[in-house]
Amino acid sequence: MQFLRAYARNPAALIGAALVLAVLAMGLLAPLLYPGDPLSLAGRPLQWPGANPRFPLGTDPSGRDIAAQLFHGARVSLLIGFSATAIAVVIGIGIGALAGFYGGIVDTLLMRVTEAFQTLPNFLLLLVLVAVFGSDIKTVTIAIGIVAWPPVARLTRAEFLSLRTRDFVQACRLQGLSDAHLILREVLPNALPPVIVYASVVMAIAILLESALAFLQLSDPNVSSWGNLIGLGRNVLRAEWYVSAIPGIAILLTILGVSLVGQGLNDALNPRLAGR
Amino acid sequence: MSLLEIRELSVALPAGADRALALDQVSLALDPGEILCVVGESGSGKSVTASAIIGLLAPGLAVVSGQIMLAGEALVGQSPEAWRALRGRRIAMVFQEPMTALNPLMTVGAQIAEMWRAHTDLNSRDITAHSLAALTEVALPDPEGALRAYPHELSGGQRQRVMIAMALALEPEVLICDEPTTALDVTTQAQVLALIRALQQRRGTAVLFITHDFGVVAEIADRVAVMQQGVVVEQGPAATVLSHPTHPYTKALLAAVPALIAPPPRELAAGSVLTLRGVTKTYGSPGMFRRRKAVKALDAVDLTLRQGATLGVVGESGSGKSTLARCVVGLLPVDAGDILIAGEPLPHGRCAAAGLVQMVFQDPFASLNPRRRVGDQVAQGPMALGTSAAQAMAEARALFGLVGLEPDAVARFPHEFSGGQRQRIGIARALAMKPRVLVADEPVSALDVSVQAQVLELLRGLQARLGLSMLFITHDLRVAAQICDDIAVMQNGVVVETGPIGEVFAAPRHAYTRSLLDAVPGRALFAA
Amino acid sequence: MNGPTRREALLLAASAIAAPGFTAMPAFAQETPKRGGVMTVHFATEQRILNPSLQASTGVYIVGGKIQEPLVDLDSAGNPSPVLAESWESSADGKTITFRLRQGVTWHDGKPFTSADVQFTAMEMWKKILNYSTALQQFLTAVDTPDAHTAVFRYERPMPLGLLLRALPDLGYVSPKHIYEGTDIRANPANTAPIGTGPFKFVQYERGQFIIAERNPTYWRPNLPYLDRIVWRVVTDRSAAAAQMEAGQILFSPYSSLTIADSQRLGRDPRFEVTTRGNEGNARTNTLEFNFRRTELADVRVRRAIAHAINIPFFIENFLGDFAKPGTGPIPSVSTDYYPGADVPQYGFDKAAANRLLDEAGFRRGAGGLRFTLRLTPAPWGEDIALFSTYIQQSLSEVGIRIEIVRLDAAGFLRTVYREHDFDLATGWHQYRSDPAVSTTVWYRSGSPVGAPWTNQFGWQNDAADKLMDDAATEVDPVKRRALYADFVRLVQTELPVWMPIEQLFLSTFNKKLKNTGNNPRWASSSWHDTWLDS
Amino acid sequence: MRLLGLAARRLAASLPALLLILIGLFLLLQLAPGDTVDALMAQMGGGDERIATELRVFYGLDLSVPARLGQYLLRLVQLDLGYSAIYGKPVATVILERLPATLLLMTASLSFAFAFGAVLGVVAARRVNRWPDTLISTLGLIFYATPSFWFGLMAIVVFSVHLQWLPAGGFGDVALGLTGFAAVLDIAKHLVLPTLTLALIYLAISLRIMRAAMLEVLTLDFVRTARAKGLTETRVVARHVLRNALLPMITLIGLQVGTMLGGSVVVESVFTLPGLGRLAYESVVQRDLNTLLGIAFVSALLVIAANFIVDMLYARLDPRISSGG
């Protein structure tokens, strides 16, 4: 409750929440407002927004309704964002927690792996993963999760490193509690807030990575993702720039919303830093 | 007319704070050549007073009424630029934390030189000469080296001397010292206090000295102002206030200051419960890439804790006393030597060890998990050993009663408790395991003096009732005198003197013990 | 995406002969050519090498074709014209073909061009390394060099002179023996810094950026070329290339390298000419390939239903524009010698028929109106293929077939479709190369080795069709041969193992400042010795 | 000498990660559908089976996976990155050709992002919670949320198509045959949009970090000391706050060199720059294993080098590090 109140005091955070909710609503309303396949042929290709009342946002080079794709694309972007973030956060917390809690050789080994992942540019790894395992939506999501976890692991590890020697953890050790209890009940809940805040960054990155892949025509062509639309629009950029511009703005607003929510969470979770 | 006069100054706290005013109609006067001690517990508004005088109130705080007069000149309402010209030149300040009060990226010389650069037109050579003179005056061992040094290359006491040199560089009329010795070891504190006193007398500076420690007040103050909750409750000449306090709060505070004389020895059963033999612990083993200097934190320590007794371990920071505590409870492995509890080494299994030794930690805010109910945190230990949840919780409630808390408080979260209450919960948590030995690592150092007294009272009572054997770590000889039967004095990882506390305090054999005892501030006043 | 024209590869110029569709070559107003200037060319598909005696693809010819020369090229009427060979003759048995070589030609490094170069290139490159040529020259046993200017090709089996002359404009580029002899030919540095006899000398290749060639002052055609320099700008992004065309940074973009939208837009701009002129030798059809290993697709009714479900004229009108037309079968209409006319089974847009056929085949609509799901693997080259695959997806969903598009890159596509057969539908291009026997019947002939790209890997086998193809390949009477191919087309249009519903020529986009362009059927690949720039 | 030792130590510490990357990528790409010869066949426009088989022998693809991996690592120890199948040249040459564009782009973007991020961050922190701060912070958030490729496309639409101020792509106008200063100017003109595009997100990040660091440092005790000395606010910020606040910024640079190379894949693709990022993308598509591994190797070296420079900078700025190490 107190947390919610702290959150609600922050106008930027509320705007962020509103944006995310709006995108969520778009995704939920998509099947109602635009029943049927958003990828189906709707009309003549490349009709400008407003030129045809049936297509308020125009049609793309394949004659599909951009508005329908925009609404359905909201689901795809959020789905990819949430799932990839979940994957990255689970992997990252797992590895970071083990490395940070146990230290020593476990830490060294896990951090070497993390370093390897961080040294290789993540987009490059993503390209390889998609080239190898194909570009259907599940693969892409998992691949994004796989390339996005290292910062989560580092963050979790740093939190664990500082928390594991805290007095309350030591006290639990002295009480005879198991490592599992220490990790899951004592350290993790206290390590989570910054990780949750960072999850919003991961989500933004996940959405951006998917759209960049789609832009290079490497994402799943069977779903109406915003990135796919931007990529399609690239061929007609000079004259029909709206095909790329519209979904780009949608991505921008979504990530803006996610970032603002993340910042709001951060401020609400760390009142000391509020206003920063 | 006084040099510095604070007239009915009120400072508002931001909305949502626990009270409306940080300072409520505070009036103080400071004459040239005088040391005024403002004393109070945390939250009394003494630091806000200091900030207000120098015009650096924290964001959110604002003067709502009253005036500050410096030599007849009204300060409240001055332009920021006028305030700035005043600071450092006419009013200077020394802060509490020597570790963080200096810019880590600038040399000491450059930081001192800024005083002249900001306020005078002197050229670089003159500034260097002045800086050197200032550092020489505060008796730094190698003033020329210190000029070129970075803050991290100096010790805490040395840094505080640098701060004093810097504050006094332009011979200000008023020097404000905000708890300047609180972060220092007791012997260093004595030296710094002496230095301030000496400089102040030599120059006739007016000093406003903020402190929570009546010992320090007794050492240094000409006059005393006692603050409580933003209000000055009593002020007057030091001798009068300290010996004949009129306000009940002052009386209570003074009464809470522990005496340095140990009570008469108690009758104790024979036999020891904890024995340390040749315990050695070295930090910083050379790594593969990074060679660190190895530090011997414990060097062949031999100690014995008698059954039912309290063994105090005292020493300054870096003496190894906290390492000792962590080694005894098994949180740190030892490099050599034996730690025997009831004649046996501590078992490796965490559960088996849990019933033998428990610990009470220093920081009441760090020692409880902020995200779990306190009752669970107390009960989880016995549950891990196999006690049923219901019974463990019943025991926890009983323990809460025992340590002076409401049994129903088990369902609350740590942030709902004050520091002293949390420390009680920490004690309850330790007692829940029914340990043979209780290790208390500075259990009262983070508490205000009145709360400190209550917790010490609790520990004494529990010991009497439960027959606890306690290893009590502290840097404060007064506290040790209140609770310990035996005492071990540590210096640089070595136990230099042990014995019954009465004997050690009455007739210290080791020079270090003597210097520690001599450095306790206000010794003369609070001896009785 | 990577180059759209990666695979829009081969321009076997011979096609021009068999495809007299271009004969109405526009007559140019005779202007006086001007000397000088820099011609900038869009280079969309960077190649591993630039030497056309080692690799037969448009990406090589567009550069290497100006630096090295073939024995024979095509004139504006599409007939063989002498280049390094001045004349040729065949023995009566067809097993010996003699070329008289041009005299006084020198390589760019100053060494003379002789028959030894022809011998070396033919035996070491054409026969062993050059793709498509290895098959053409597999019965070449030796090249004799009685003198420095005579090369005698000796074949184990008869080699029709006409076929060789049709092939040599693309597969007859000569490389300097003194550079390659005794080296690892595939790794020779001259592969990316070619040395030839052509009108332009190689200067510099900055990979990913540009290639520069400059006028060869000692070119054997007197006073030619007109241009001082050619700069190929590597622009993989098609929109960027269009922008550079508009900014005048590129004067010529070959082989449909611009986006369809940009091509149409530039076509309306008076500064530019967007045309199929000069690409007459280069027809292709869009394919829809069925994998017979899927039981549904093994049923001819399903294949016909799929063809009925896709509205080709609508697709062409709305997505491809003016430069494509409905195809009628594997032999495109430009191949007048073999084109059987539209009088073969066709599958016009008829949704009802499609539904009826699918119902008859036993694939009734299930939940959600769905009959079954197929994976469609589009080739990753060509914007039209991507659009077509989307259109197929859209169209088939109307008749209850859900399409999942499987996006693969070039290597993945070839491997997955032609080696692993892990696809249901595939769509790409079929390149028609002058004669159905060259690269068309392989799409239908059973028994092709697994892994051979653009061959029948669909699991379709029809003895009658195999016999028709084999007979036609050896039939010497043109009339009978034409009839055999007509039968063949009728049969495969009935059985429909591969559907080839769209016919296209490549597009060239010229800045009109360029003169003497598109004046032969393989112009983009040719030497540009008479091209000039109007300032 | 000490510098060299430090560099060697950094390199040694990064070796396991590097080895992991190379082996991991090598094995990963074995699972990819199709090999480099398939890609070559597609590029050539076809050819028969015999050619394919010969090419596979030529590129050593007929050997077993462990044998090829062993060979690769053995060559790598001798600092030989191998031969690129698609480009027909040694990988080292191919990479060296592409490196300048990427290095230039990355350096320009990083400097731009760092410099402007720092300035904007300082301004925002000095006017915290007032309109300049709100404006800068909002801009930062929007920059952060903008997909770089989309920004690049829109920049092309505005600045190249409509205003025609800047070229839409490429790395210099070769046809003009410029030399000397004109050529430098030409390249600079071509790099403006790509630099802005790539820098956008890093600008947002660094301004955010700088602002937060400034605010953090402003609360520290020594700043209060400085103020108590009567220093002007400008001097407090310039002499005391800024330098301390720069420390996290410098750490940031080290962290971002790696991701920047990934970002340059997209930006180089949008602006058709002949850089390492696009080379990486092409080598994945073309299954050019040697080139891809070479790029991974070089990018790892870049990251190591960047971190080394960061260490040096840090040591220069923070006396605690140099005396502690």
> Would the CB atoms of A235 and C243 count as touching at under 8 Å?
no
Q: So what's the pLDDT on residue C12?
A: 36
Comparing alpha-carbon positions, the chain B residue that sits nearest to D319 is B105
Average pLDDT for chain C: 86
B233 token code pair: 């409750």
Of A244, A46, A230, A51, the C-alpha closest to C318 is A46
Nearest to D227 among B56, B97, B115 (CB): B56
> Would the CB atoms of A174 and B372 count as touching at under 8 Å?
no
In this structure, are strands C508-511 and C272-275 parallel, antiparallel, or unpaired?
A: antiparallel
In sequence order, what are the residues at sequence separation of 6 or more whose Cβ sits closer than 8 angstroms to the Cβ of residue B291?
none
Q: What is the number of structural domains in chain D?
A: 2
In sequence order, what are the residues at sequence separation of 6 or more whose Cβ sits closer than 8 angstroms to the Cβ of residue A44?
A59, A63, C318
Interface ipTM: 0.81
Greater pLDDT, D12 or B272: B272
CA–CA dist C84, C150 (Å, integer): 11
Tokens 């989570």 found at: A192
Nearest to A235 among C243, C259, C404 (CB): C259
Q: What is the mean pLDDT of residues D239-251?
A: 86
Q: What is the mean pLDDT of residues D64-69?
A: 87
- At residue D277, φ and ψ (nearest 5 deg) are -60, -45
Of C101, C182, D23, the C-alpha closest to A120 is D23
Which CATH code fits A80-223? Answer: 1.10.3720.10
CA–CA dist C207, C193 (Å, integer): 12
- Give me the half-sphere count of Cα atoms (radius 13 Å) on the Cβ side of residue D303: 25
Q: What is the mean pLDDT of residues B229-238?
A: 91
Q: What is the mean pLDDT of residues B195-202?
A: 89
Q: So what's the pLDDT on residue B527?
A: 56
What's the pLDDT tens digit per position in D190-215?
A: 889 999 999 998 999 888 889 988 98
For chain C, the structural domain boundaries read 35-68+198-278+512-533, 72-180, 281-504
What's the pLDDT tens digit per position in D155-183?
A: 888 888 778 788 777 776 655 566 777 77
End of a domain among D91, D113, D137? D91
Q: So what's the pLDDT on residue A1?
A: 62
D28 and D151 housed in the same domain? no
CB-based contact, B332 to chain A, within 8 Å: no
- Give me the half-sphere count of Cα atoms (radius 13 Å) on the Cβ side of residue A27: 20
Check residue D230 and give left, alpha or beta (phi > 0: left; psi -120 to 50: alpha). left
> Would the CB atoms of D144 and A122 count as touching at under 8 Å?
no
Q: So what's the pLDDT on residue C423?
A: 94
C384 token code pair: 């039209």
Nearest to C48 among D45, D87, D97 (CB): D87
Q: Is residue D325 part of a domain?
A: no
Measured over all CA atoms, what is the biggest interatomic distance in chain D, rounded to whole angstroms?
Answer: 85
- Inter-residue contact B242 to B224 (CB < 8 Å): yes
Q: So what's the pLDDT on residue A273?
A: 45
- Inter-residue contact C243 to D161 (CB < 8 Å): yes
Nearest to D229 among B97, B105, B115 (CB): B115
* D49 Cα to chain A: minimum distance (Å): 24
A116 token code pair: 């390897």
D284 to chain C: which residues are within 8 Å by CB? 409
Number of residues that this document lists for chain D: 325
- At residue C14, φ and ψ (nearest 5 deg) are -50, -30
CA–CA dist C503, C313 (Å, integer): 12
End of a domain among D56, D91, D126? D91
C166 token code pair: 């049709």
D106 and D153 housed in the same domain? yes
CB-based contact, A11 to chain D, within 8 Å: no
In sequence order, what are the residues at sequence separation of 6 or more whose Cβ sits closer than 8 angstroms to the Cβ of residue C463?
none
Angle at A251 between CA D209 and CA D160, to 5 degrees: 90
For testing contact with chain A, the best of D144, D149, D215, D272 (most A CBs within 10 A): D149
B332 to chain A: which residues are within 8 Å by CB? none
* C104 Cα to chain D: minimum distance (Å): 32
Nearest to A190 among B362, B371, B381 (CB): B371
* C455 Cα to chain A: minimum distance (Å): 24
CB-based contact, D228 to chain B, within 8 Å: yes
pLDDT confidence bin for B450, thresholds 50/70/90:
confident
Angle at A80 between CA A76 and CA A82, to 5 degrees: 115
> Would the CB atoms of A127 and D284 count as touching at under 8 Å?
yes
Average pLDDT for chain B: 88
- Second-level CATH architecture of C281-504: Roll (3.10)
> Would the CB atoms of A171 and B426 count as touching at under 8 Å?
yes
- Inter-residue contact C476 to C294 (CB < 8 Å): no
CB-based contact, A60 to chain C, within 8 Å: no
Q: So what's the pLDDT on residue C10?
A: 35
pLDDT confidence bin for B293, thresholds 50/70/90:
low
* A193 Cα to chain B: minimum distance (Å): 11
Please report, for residues C66, C144, C162, C200, C202, the alpha-carbon distance to residue C212 in angstroms, rounded to integers and kept in the order given: 11, 36, 35, 9, 6
CA–CA dist C500, C493 (Å, integer): 9
D60 and D139 housed in the same domain? no
Nearest to A171 among B349, B385, B429 (CB): B429
- Inter-residue contact C290 to C297 (CB < 8 Å): yes
In this structure, what DSSP letter does residue D157 have?
I
Please report, for residues B206, B470, B498, C377, C382, the alpha-carbon distance to residue B502 in angstroms, rounded to integers and kept in the order given: 40, 17, 11, 92, 96
A149 to chain D: which residues are within 8 Å by CB? none
Comparing alpha-carbon positions, the chain C residue that sits nearest to A217 is C1
Neighbouring C-beta atoms of residue B431, cutoff 10 Å: 20
CATH code of the domain containing D306? 1.10.3720.10
Angle at B64 between CA B58 and CA B67, to 5 degrees: 95
pTM: 0.83
- Among A33-37, A106-110, B105-109, where is mean pLDDT lowest? A33-37
> Would the CB atoms of D35 and C411 count as touching at under 8 Å?
yes
What's the pLDDT tens digit per position in B390-419?
A: 999 999 999 999 888 999 988 898 888 888
For chain B, the structural domain boundaries read 30-47+83-255
Neighbouring C-beta atoms of residue D258, cutoff 10 Å: 22
CA–CA dist C389, D91 (Å, integer): 36
CB-based burial of residue B40 (10 Å sphere; 0-12 exposed, 13-18 middle, 19+ buried)?
buried
The percentage of chain A sitting over the pLDDT mark of 90, rounded to a whole number, equals 31
Please report, for residues A149, C455, D34, D54, the alpha-carbon distance to residue C414 in angstroms, rounded to integers and kept in the order given: 34, 11, 7, 17
Of B66, B70, B58, the C-alpha closest to B24 is B66
> Would the CB atoms of C249 and D156 count as touching at under 8 Å?
no
Is C106 a residue whose pLDDT tops 90?
Answer: yes
D115 and D251 housed in the same domain? yes
Helical (H) or strand (E) element with C155:
strand C150-155
> Would the CB atoms of D44 and C9 count as touching at under 8 Å?
yes
Q: So what's the pLDDT on residue C522?
A: 85
Average pLDDT for chain A: 87
* C303 Cα to chain A: minimum distance (Å): 21
> Would the CB atoms of D21 and A241 count as touching at under 8 Å?
no
Comparing alpha-carbon positions, the chain D residue that sits nearest to A262 is D141
Neighbouring C-beta atoms of residue B285, cutoff 10 Å: 9
pLDDT confidence bin for C68, thresholds 50/70/90:
very high
Rg (CA), chain D: 24
CB-based contact, B162 to chain D, within 8 Å: no
Q: So what's the pLDDT on residue B289?
A: 45
B45 token code pair: 């508004």
Q: So what's the pLDDT on residue C30?
A: 60
What's the pLDDT tens digit per position in A121-170?
A: 888 889 889 888 888 889 999 999 999 999 999 999 999 988 888 889 99
Residue type, C107: W
Chains with ≥3 CB–CB distances under 8 Å to B: A, D
Nearest to C55 among D42, D44, D287 (CB): D44
Q: So what's the pLDDT on residue A271?
A: 54
D39 to chain C: which residues are within 8 Å by CB? 409-411, 414
- Inter-residue contact A76 to A224 (CB < 8 Å): yes
Is the domain covering B30-47+83-255 a CATH 3.40.50.300 domain? Answer: yes
- Counting CB pairs under 8 A, whether chains C and B reach 3 or more, is no
Of C377, C398, C371, the C-alpha closest to C389 is C377
- Inter-residue contact C86 to C100 (CB < 8 Å): yes
C393 token code pair: 């997806």
A183 to chain B: which residues are within 8 Å by CB? none
CA–CA dist B10, B23 (Å, integer): 5
- Inter-residue contact C19 to C440 (CB < 8 Å): no
Please report, for residues C367, C487, D206, D281, the alpha-carbon distance to residue C409 in angstroms, rounded to integers and kept in the order given: 34, 36, 37, 11
Q: So what's the pLDDT on residue C449?
A: 81
> Would the CB atoms of A208 and D147 count as touching at under 8 Å?
yes
- Inter-residue contact C374 to C402 (CB < 8 Å): yes
Q: What is the mean pLDDT of residues B86-110?
A: 88
Is D251 a residue whose pLDDT tops 90?
Answer: no
Of A194, A184, A124, the C-alpha closest to A153 is A194
Q: So what's the pLDDT on residue C9?
A: 34
Q: Which residues pair with B71 in a beta bridge?
A: none
B114 to chain D: which residues are within 8 Å by CB? 226, 229, 231, 235, 239
D31 and D146 housed in the same domain? no
For chain A, the structural domain boundaries read 1-34+234-276, 80-223
- With residues binned 3-state (H G I as helix, E B as strand, rest as coil), the percentages for chain A, rounded to 5, are 75, 0, 25
| Inter-chain Cβ pairs, chain B and chain D, closer than 8 A | 83
pLDDT confidence bin for C481, thresholds 50/70/90:
confident
CA–CA dist D28, D287 (Å, integer): 11
- Counting CB pairs under 8 A, whether chains B and D reach 3 or more, is yes
- Second-level CATH architecture of C72-180: Alpha-Beta Complex (3.90)
Is C301 a residue whose pLDDT tops 90?
Answer: yes
Is C201 a residue whose pLDDT tops 90?
Answer: yes
User: Domain range for residue D43?
Assistant: 1-91
CB-based contact, A113 to chain D, within 8 Å: yes
Q: So what's the pLDDT on residue D161?
A: 75
pLDDT confidence bin for D319, thresholds 50/70/90:
confident
CATH superfamily name and code, C35-68+198-278+512-533: Periplasmic binding protein-like II (3.40.190.10)
Distance, C-alpha B286 to centroid of its chain:
33
Q: So what's the pLDDT on residue C395?
A: 93
* B179 Cα to chain D: minimum distance (Å): 14
- Inter-residue contact C368 to A37 (CB < 8 Å): no
Neighbouring C-beta atoms of residue D308, cutoff 10 Å: 18
B159 token code pair: 């840094």
- Inter-residue contact D266 to A121 (CB < 8 Å): no
Q: So what's the pLDDT on residue D177?
A: 62
Residue type, C141: T
For testing contact with chain C, the best of D43, D54, D265, D273 (most C CBs within 10 A): D43
CA–CA dist C526, C169 (Å, integer): 9
A234 to chain C: which residues are within 8 Å by CB? 237, 239
- At residue C283, φ and ψ (nearest 5 deg) are -95, 150
What's the pLDDT tens digit per position in B316-348?
A: 888 888 899 999 998 888 888 999 998 888 888
* C146 Cα to chain D: minimum distance (Å): 31
CA–CA dist C121, C142 (Å, integer): 11
Angle between the N-to-C axes of helices D242-270 and D91-126, in degrees from 0 to 180, rounded to the nearest 10? 130
A121 token code pair: 């540019």
Q: Is residue D192 part of a domain?
A: yes
Tokens 């209000």 found at: B231
Of B233, B157, B194, the C-alpha closest to B35 is B194
Comparing alpha-carbon positions, the chain A residue that sits nearest to B360 is A171
In sequence order, what are the residues at sequence separation of 6 or more whose Cβ sits closer than 8 angstroms to the Cβ of residue C92?
none
Q: What is the mean pLDDT of residues A158-187?
A: 89
Number of residues that this document lists for chain B: 528
Check residue D82 and give left, alpha or beta (phi > 0: left; psi -120 to 50: alpha). left
Tokens 């997806």 found at: C393
Give the start-end residues of each E strand in D9-109. Answer: 83-84, 89-90
